[in-house]
A and B are shown apart, each in its own frame.
Chain A
Amino acid sequence: DAKTTQPNSMESNEEEPVHLPCNHSTISGTDYIHWYRQLPSQGPEYVIHGLTSNVNNRMASLAIAEDRKSSTLILHRATLRDAAVYYCILRDAATDKLIFGTGTRLQVFP
């Protein structure tokens, strides 16, 4: 199974952009890159996903490197409610399984 590597923690100030990096050097050509986040005392929730092209939605943007070995989740203006653990996940093309790592804990300061 292809794995992802993320920093354990990151910090941001409110209203500033946040760039959360993820390395996935063993990604296969058909693995989708998913991002979920887990707010305190809640289950994970979907944020965004992509295959090759950059993606935008109301929550965030996903920038995928041309070689697909890394990606970056971008929160354009962090709020206190964005404090969570962010998981970069590869959906295994053969099994469709989401393979979770340990994620990045994002702290947002007022």
Chain B
Amino acid sequence: EAQVTQNPRYLITVTGKKLTVTCSQNMNHEYMSWYRQDPGLGLRQIYYSMNVEVTDKGDVPEGYKVSRKEKRNFPLILESPSPNQTSLYFCASSWSSKNIQYFGAGTRLSVL
């Protein structure tokens, strides 16, 4: 089954403790992206990747890192999480930036 898988689905952590949210897709898509969703603000793009080893900032990249060492994986790294990064995070993938995006089920992160 074609899917985008995020782990973990739920995470509670403390300020400053590094964490990684994984994202994997099995559709051989070249384009992958991370979004955060906050009440009243809709989804905002954090980072995106056009292909392996090619990443770029979205609208709200501060405090986040990403890497794209293989086509299927696109982890989101928070080196020193802060409470304002408490949010619902979605990973998405597509054949290219112009194509339909397939979203994961989301990761709900709370930073205390």
Contacts and interface: CB of A to CB of B under 8 A. Distances in A.
Given A43-B90, A43-B92, A102-B40, A96 B100 contact: no
B106 A43 contact: yes
B104 A43 contact: yes
> DSSP majority for the A interface?
loop
A7 interface: no
Interface residues of B, number: 22
Contact of B101 (A95, A98, A102, A103): A98
How big is the A interface, by class?
A: 10 to 19
B42 A101 contact: yes
Interface string B16-29: 00000000000000
Contacts of A103: 42
Interface of A: 36, 41-46, 49, 87, 91, 95-98, 100-103
